[in-house]
Amino acid sequence: MKQLPAATVRLLSSSQIITSVVSVVKELIENSLDAGATSIDVKLENYGFDKIEVRDNGEGIKAVDVPVMAVKYYTSKINSHEDLESLTTYGFRGEALGSICSVAEVVVTTRTAADDFSTQYVLDGSGHILSQKPSHLGQESRAILKRNELRLEPGLLAVTAAVVLVLDHQCHLCRRRTGVC
């Protein structure tokens, strides 16, 4: 027997959290809601297989939390297992962004009310910051995931495509009937 390389372990454990494009979007929307967002915009290119972009008007990520915002098992929501009994948020494990970083190229742009300007962060496969630069975005946050490093199983892609197509169809039906979706 031999120990698996760290990158392989990250990818395998990420598949428990990130199983499809739908699960990625779900995790990012939950992050937005936990940040107090009242407006969330989701854009998918090629049904999310090439690019997923989520923008929100939430509180942003505090400067002190930025270095570990996507490192697995870092969270601002709980301090110990006792806190699990009184959760008021969707996310708490500190796994979503870290897991997404394991399967896609991730760029996060964020700004809090205390910040003078937005900052864009490019993250590596472990959730660490590769680079950062000022951004033109106002008081909003944005997460962009690109396919260039996406590693989902082919069978899973087919199932995800079917789910996204069904959701898209339902949204069109809803829009026709009510004018909203």
Q: What is the pTM of this model?
A: 0.73
Residue 159 CB: number of other CB atoms within 10 A?
14
175 pLDDT band, cuts 50/70/90, is low
10 pLDDT band, cuts 50/70/90, is low
* pLDDT value of position 95: 74
How far apart (Å, rounded) are the C-alpha atoms in residues 70 and 84?
Answer: 21
163 pLDDT band, cuts 50/70/90, is very low
Q: b/e for 160-172, b at 16 or more Cβ within 10 A?
A: bbeebeeeeeeee
* pLDDT value of position 119: 92
Using one digit for the tens of pLDDT, what is the confidence trace for 57-82?
999 898 899 999 988 777 777 666 67
